[in-house]
Copies of this chain bind each other. A is one copy, B any other.
Amino acid sequence: MKIVIVGAGAMGSRFALMLHHSGNEVTLIDGWPENVAAIKKFGLRAQFNGKSVVAKIPIYQLDQVQQLQNYQADLLIAFTKSNQLEATFDKVKTLIGPNTYVLCLLNGLGHEAVLQKYVSVDHLILGITLWTAALSGPGQAVLIGTGNVELQNFSPKGKEFTLQVEKVFAAAGLNPQYSDNVKYSIWRKACVNGTLNTLCSLLECNIKELGQTSFAPTLLKEIIAEFAAVAAHEGINLNPDEVYQHVAVAFTSDSAEHYPSMYQDLVQNHRQTEIDFINGAVWSKGQQYKIATPYCALLTQLIHAKEELLQQ
Pairwise interchain contact A309-B205, C-beta atoms closer than 8 A: yes
A214 to B199, CA, bound (A): 21
Say how far A290's CB is from chain B's closest CB, in angstroms.
15
Task: Knowing that A219-B302, A298-B299 touch, tell me 15 more A-B residue pairs with CB under 8 angstroms.
Answer: A203-B302, A203-B306, A204-B309, A209-B312, A212-B312, A213-B305, A215-B302, A216-B305, A219-B298, A219-B301, A222-B297, A222-B298, A292-B292, A294-B294, A295-B298
Say how far A101's CB is from chain B's closest CB, in angstroms.
38
User: Please, which residues of chain B bring their CB within 8 A of the CB of A202?
Assistant: 202, 302
A241 beta carbon closer than 8 Å to chain B = no
| 6 nearest CB pairs, A to B | A294-B294, A213-B305, A215-B301, A213-B308, A215-B305, A205-B309
A159 beta carbon closer than 8 Å to chain B = no
A202 to B299, CA, bound (A): 11
A40 beta carbon closer than 8 Å to chain B = no
Interface size on A, residues (CB 8 A): 29
A304 beta carbon closer than 8 Å to chain B = yes
Binding site for B on A (CB under 8 A): 199, 202-205, 209-210, 212-216, 218-219, 222, 292, 294-295, 297-299, 301-302, 304-306, 308-309, 312
Among A202, A203, A218, A312, the one with the most B-chain Cβ atoms within 10 Å of its Cβ is A203
A201 to B292, CA, bound (A): 26
Pairwise interchain contact A304-B215, C-beta atoms closer than 8 A: yes
Pairwise interchain contact A203-B305, C-beta atoms closer than 8 A: yes
A218 to B300, CA, bound (A): 12
Say how far A226's CB is from chain B's closest CB, in angstroms.
10
Among A215, A292, A297, the one with the most B-chain Cβ atoms within 10 Å of its Cβ is A215
What are 27 inter-chain pairs, A to B, with CB distance below 8 A?
Answer: A199-B305, A202-B302, A203-B306, A203-B309, A205-B309, A209-B309, A209-B312, A210-B305, A212-B308, A213-B309, A214-B304, A214-B305, A214-B308, A215-B301, A215-B302, A215-B304, A215-B305, A215-B308, A216-B305, A219-B305, A222-B297, A222-B298, A292-B294, A294-B295, A294-B298, A295-B298, A298-B298
A254 to B212, CA, bound (A): 40
Q: Which residue of B lies closest to A214 (CB)?
A: B308
User: Please, which residues of chain B bring their CB within 8 A of the CB of A295?
Assistant: 294, 298
Say how far A102's CB is from chain B's closest CB, in angstroms.
33
User: Please, which residues of chain B bring their CB within 8 A of the CB of A219?
Assistant: 298, 301-302, 305
A309 to B299, CA, bound (A): 18
A306 to B167, CA, bound (A): 48
Say how far A288's CB is from chain B's closest CB, in angstroms.
18
